[in-house]
Each structure stands twice: as C-alpha cells, then as structure tokens.
Amino acid sequence: MKKNIGKTVIPEGFEEVTGAAPFANRNGPYYEKKIDDETSIRAFRAAEKHLNGVKLVHGGMLMSFADSALARGVIRATGRRCVTIKMNSEFLSPAREGDWIEAFVEVTKSTKTVVFVRGELKVGRRTIFKADAIFHYVHIGRD
C-alpha cells in the first residue's frame, strides 16, 4: 500500500528521514526503508526543484543524493560516521520529474580509517546511476 505525504506518493515501508543535515534538508525530503539492522534503501521523489534545463533530474542532484545514501549505508553497516574522500560516478539513464529514485548501497571493505562503498540509483528496475566511493571515518565532537 502506498501513502500520500502532501502531494507526494510514498511506497509502503518508507519513512521520511528526519534530523538530516541542512544541505540534505534543502534537497529532500529523503525517505528510508529498513531492510535489516545493517541495510536500508534511501529514496526520493524527483520534483521540479531537482530538474535541469532540459527537464531531467540534474546530475548534481543525483551525485548529492548518492553521496548521502552511500554515507548512510556506511553508518548502517559499520555504526561509524564518515566523510567523503573520493566518489566516482556514472550516469547511465535519465530520471524525470515524478520518478521514485531508490539507492542501493554495499560496503565492500572497511579498514581502521577508511571504508569502500558502492551503490546504484534505480527507477524501478532501471539503473540510472552508479557510484563507488571511499569515505574516511570521523569522530564527531570537539577534540
């Protein structure tokens, strides 16, 4: 069953992410569906504010969303916070206003200081974007 949040239709099992960073709040809202204790799917509904001049979802929005989803995947899998060191991305297919875009993330390796992660953004079964990244673990707080 789908639910409506304002004008946005949200698939069953997804809840709005609250307490996100100010940058993500401006680009969102984002939603998550918990799969298990270490895995979730992050998603958003493409709106007019996410479009470029040719009415497709802006590449910068896809990169920003992927970065957020990858970091969230690291936190879910490791319990540790992190910041991006490097992210490689591939734009495979366009997304349009109204599309429900989901991020699927996999942590591939974790060391003492860095973590390697990859992910895909999908609209339905269609992969629209791929990324692989390296994140540095950080301690949040004053030293």
Secondary structure, 3-state, 82-97: EEEEEEEEEECCCCEC
pLDDT tens digits along 32-60: 999 988 889 999 999 999 999 999 999 99
- The pLDDT mean for the chain works out to 91
CATH number for the domain harbouring residue 95: 3.10.129.10
* Structure-block tokens of residue 116: 């390697």
Q: Return the pLDDT at 4.
A: 53
How high is the pLDDT of residue 21? 77
Residue with token string 């429900």: 100
In a domain, 143, yes or no: no
pTM for this structure?
Answer: 0.90
Q: What is the pLDDT of residues 103-115, one digit of tens each?
A: 999 999 999 999 9
Domain-located, residue 131:
yes
Containing H/E element for 100? strand 100-110
Range of the domain at 62: 3-137
- Of residues 4 and 45, the one with the higher pLDDT is 45
C-alpha R_g of the chain:
15
Is residue 5 a contact partner of residue 18, using CB atoms and an 8 Å limit? no
DSSP code for 79 = S
Q: Tell whether 142 is covered by a domain.
A: no
pLDDT of 7 reads 59
Whether pLDDT at 142 is above 60: no
The pLDDT of residue 106: 96
pLDDT of residue 129: 98
**If you average pLDDT over residues 70-94, what whole number do you get?**
96
Residue 111, domain member (yes or no): yes
Across the range 85-102, mean pLDDT stands at: 98
Taking residues 9-27, report their average pLDDT.
85
Count of domains observed in the chain? 1
Distance CA 102, CA 80 (A): 22
Contacts 24+ apart (CB under 8 A), 13-19: 14/41, 14/43, 17/42
The pLDDT score that the predictor gives to residue 2 is: 56
